[in-house]
A and B are shown apart, each in its own frame.
Chain A
Amino acid sequence: MPERRNPRKITGLHIGLALLLFIVAIAVIGPSVSPYEMDATSLEQRLAAPSAMHWLGTDEFGRDVLSRMLNGARSSLVMGFGATLFSVLVGVPLGLAAGYFKGYTDDVIMRVIDVMISIPPVILGLLILSFTPPSLWKTTLAVGLVYVPIMVRLTRSVTLEVCGEEYVQSARARAEYNGYILFSEILPNAWPAIIVESALRVTFAILLGAALSFLGLGVQPPASDWGLMIAEARPFIASAPWIACAPGIALCLTVMAINLIGDGLRERLDPRLNRSRA
């Protein structure tokens, strides 16, 4: 069967990866190359428009917006990837167990998940964060917890699909150990769908995290999270729009980059993946 490789061309995946790499680079080295300290205040330079000294202007405390932006990348990315990682670490094993063992295990897990899914994400986040002083890690954990049900459902449905394949049944007919079947037969074939979904979850996690920070339940001042920056910029929208625009655009670009990666991965990893899932 001849296999044809498409001639190398720049795909969305490449663009997305490049953009994301750039943003990660900012997150990592940003704080060291930022021209000012992120919380260095300056009373004379308040609400200054973008200029040669401050490329993105200053906010109401005279802090350099660019520096705060460079520092803020870190918390958005940590929230996005950290929360998704958490939901994968908790959700995938549960989904595998539910899909593979079926029966009571499946029913119990799915009932709990059904109840969790009946709670709107922001509300669940609020619930978890309302009784403990929020911080970056707590918010990340809360967002991760919010997305556990979706990862469980997805993993379970992929596991059920793979379990129906004859090679899994062949393994069962050999009285294979459960561990072998789960990790050597099922998981390698379930990973593509899980990875694609995780990529999209990262975008939701970033946006949810930013929303929570915006509401004051995420990163606390004087930290420079993008959502928090937008919240702080609210009173000055008319007079100093750049304070809000910069982090807003940064958030959009980050989310779009990850969306591109997710879509590109979906095309690459498995053309049979159900495209109706967004």
Chain B
Amino acid sequence: MLEYVIKRLCYVVATLLVMSVLIFLITQIMPGNIAHLILGDFASPADIATLEAQLGLNDPWYVQYLRWAGAMLHGDMGMSLSMNQPVSEIIWGAVGRSALLAGISIVLVAVFGIWLGVYAGVRHGSKSDHTISMVTYVNIAIPEFFWAIVVIMLFAGYLRILPATGYASLDEGVWNWLRHLILPVFTLVTGLIAHVSRLTRSSVIDVMNTQYIRAARARGLSEKRVIREHALRNALLPAITVLAIDIGVLMGGVVVAETIFSYPGLGRTLIYAIQHMDLPLLQASMMVVTFVYAMANLSADLLYAFLNPKIRYGRGRDA
């Protein structure tokens, strides 16, 4: 197990390194350099040259990279070009709000997706199984932005019971804060619940057909006990793998949802940075997103390894 953990940690470090290099290289490839962007279109070439020298833009790229990476590690993410604020301030708040949205969503996806999948899988072939299958089948075809628009139209436009934007700070009351979150979270979780439940369902069906389940029945266990004590454990392992992949999809969804609901999170910051060519903000946002995703994946991997006796205990000496 220890070997496995160390290997995974090495991968995380490698991934972050590679991503940081890639992200940094954007600055080298983008048309127009930073000095130009800061001083604007009407600056004189002399001023630009001075600023370039000041910012160290004439150094070889790897030197600039190390400088940038070093600063990042110290928490100094530079100055935002479009908002005239330290990038770290902007990002810090945004990360918290995005984490909230993503966190609630992933919990809901895990709980409802798995529950629904198990419910359908255990009743394989029955009417309720067919109904759930059909509903999820349609659901995975619907993109989040479409869902978002539909629910905004319905609940905010027509029925007017929920707000069309996603954010109200906690100072304005907990209930109000929650109300604003309902629609964004809904659009994030529907597609993913469908996806997770489908995979869990087929995993459950596979497990229920194994020999060891038959052996458990042959020992006289009731069907309920067979499912609870034998089937679930083995069916849930693939579900964790799927959830790990879906965290990535969720992050994409978060970007879209924040855009639609004007939710001031990291995703919206990212889009904003791209649209305004705000390089320091863009680079820092991407690094933070990559870091969070890598951590989430690592946690999922470790959870899987912990729950899977073959990895946790390895091969004993009686093999």
A203, CB-defined interface residue at 8 Å: yes
Given that A120-B251, A276-B203 are known contacts, is A203 also in contact with B290, CB under 8 Å in the complex?
Answer: no
A122, CB-defined interface residue at 8 Å: yes
**B252 engages A256 (CB within 8 Å):** no
Q: A interface, how many residues as a size bin?
A: 35 or more
Interface residues of A in 229-267 (CB under 8 A from B): 230-231, 233-234, 237-238, 241, 244-245, 248, 251-253, 255-256, 259
Q: B interface, how many residues as a size bin?
A: 35 or more
**B252 engages A130 (CB within 8 Å):** no
B142, CB-defined interface residue at 8 Å: yes
Residues of the B chain whose Cβ atoms lie less than 8 Å from the Cβ of A237: 149, 152-153, 157
B293, CB-defined interface residue at 8 Å: yes
Shortest CB-to-CB span from B27 to chain A, Å, is 9
The listed residue (A118, A126, A216) touching B15 by CB distance below 8 A is A118
A217, CB-defined interface residue at 8 Å: yes
**B271 engages A215 (CB within 8 Å):** yes
B143, CB-defined interface residue at 8 Å: yes
C-alpha spacing A34/B90, complex, angstroms: 47
**B18 engages A130 (CB within 8 Å):** no
Residues of the B chain whose Cβ atoms lie less than 8 Å from the Cβ of A214: 145, 256, 259
Contact digits for B124-144, partner A, Cβ 8 Å, 1 yes 0 no: 000000000000011011111
Contact digits for B249-284, partner A, Cβ 8 Å, 1 yes 0 no: 101110110011000000000110011000000100
Residue of B nearest to A216 (CB): B275
**A217 engages B274 (CB within 8 Å):** yes
The listed residue (A122, A131, A231, A259) touching B251 by CB distance below 8 A is A122
A227, CB-defined interface residue at 8 Å: yes
C-alpha spacing A51/B223, complex, angstroms: 58
Interface residues of A in 163-222 (CB under 8 A from B): 203, 207-208, 210-211, 214-217
C-alpha spacing A199/B18, complex, angstroms: 31
Given that A227-B145, A233-B149 are known contacts, is A238 also in contact with B157, CB under 8 Å in the complex?
Answer: yes
Interface residues of A in 30-77 (CB under 8 A from B): none
Residue of A nearest to B249 (CB): A121
**A118 engages B252 (CB within 8 Å):** no
A275, CB-defined interface residue at 8 Å: yes
**A122 engages B255 (CB within 8 Å):** yes
C-alpha spacing A151/B259, complex, angstroms: 30
C-alpha spacing A3/B250, complex, angstroms: 46
Interface residues of A in 111-144 (CB under 8 A from B): 111, 114-115, 118-123, 126-127, 130-132
- The secondary-structure label for the interface of chain B is helix
C-alpha spacing A238/B145, complex, angstroms: 16
Given that A131-B30, A237-B157 are known contacts, is A215 also in contact with B11, CB under 8 Å in the complex?
Answer: no
Shortest CB-to-CB span from A49 to chain B, Å, is 15
Number of A-B contacts (CB under 8 A): 135
B303, CB-defined interface residue at 8 Å: no
The listed residue (A121, A122, A216, A259) touching B137 by CB distance below 8 A is A259
Residues of the A chain whose Cβ atoms lie less than 8 Å from the Cβ of B297: 118
- The secondary-structure label for the interface of chain A is helix
A10, CB-defined interface residue at 8 Å: no
**B141 engages A256 (CB within 8 Å):** yes
A278, CB-defined interface residue at 8 Å: yes
Residues of the A chain whose Cβ atoms lie less than 8 Å from the Cβ of B144: 211
**A130 engages B141 (CB within 8 Å):** no
C-alpha spacing A251/B248, complex, angstroms: 22
B39, CB-defined interface residue at 8 Å: no
**B202 engages A278 (CB within 8 Å):** yes
**B141 engages A121 (CB within 8 Å):** no
Shortest CB-to-CB span from B11 to chain A, Å, is 6
**B248 engages A126 (CB within 8 Å):** no
B180, CB-defined interface residue at 8 Å: no
Shortest CB-to-CB span from B144 to chain A, Å, is 8
The listed residue (B29, B137, B248, B252) touching A131 by CB distance below 8 A is B29
**B141 engages A211 (CB within 8 Å):** no
Residues of the A chain whose Cβ atoms lie less than 8 Å from the Cβ of B305: none
The listed residue (B12, B203, B248) touching A120 by CB distance below 8 A is B248
Shortest CB-to-CB span from A271 to chain B, Å, is 14
C-alpha spacing A111/B259, complex, angstroms: 34
Shortest CB-to-CB span from B120 to chain A, Å, is 13
Residue of A nearest to B195 (CB): A278
**B259 engages A278 (CB within 8 Å):** no
C-alpha spacing A210/B147, complex, angstroms: 13
Interface residues, chain B, with chain A CB atoms under 8 Å away = 11-12, 14-15, 18-19, 22-23, 26, 29-30, 137-138, 140-146, 149-150, 152-153, 156-158, 195, 198-199, 202-203, 205-206, 238, 242, 247-249, 251-253, 255-256, 259-260, 270-271, 274-275, 282, 286, 289-290, 293-294, 297
Q: Which 7 A-B pairs have the closest CB atoms?
A: A122-B252, A238-B157, A255-B141, A248-B146, A120-B248, A120-B251, A118-B15
Q: List 30 A-B contacts (CB under 8 A).
A: A111-B14, A114-B11, A115-B11, A118-B11, A118-B12, A118-B15, A118-B293, A119-B290, A119-B293, A120-B249, A120-B251, A121-B252, A123-B286, A126-B255, A127-B22, A127-B286, A203-B141, A214-B145, A216-B271, A227-B143, A230-B149, A234-B260, A238-B153, A238-B156, A238-B158, A248-B150, A256-B141, A259-B141, A275-B205, A278-B195
Given A123-B289, A231-B145; 15 other pairs, CB 8 A cutoff: A111-B14, A114-B15, A118-B294, A118-B297, A123-B255, A130-B274, A131-B30, A211-B256, A214-B145, A215-B255, A244-B146, A255-B141, A259-B140, A275-B206, A278-B198
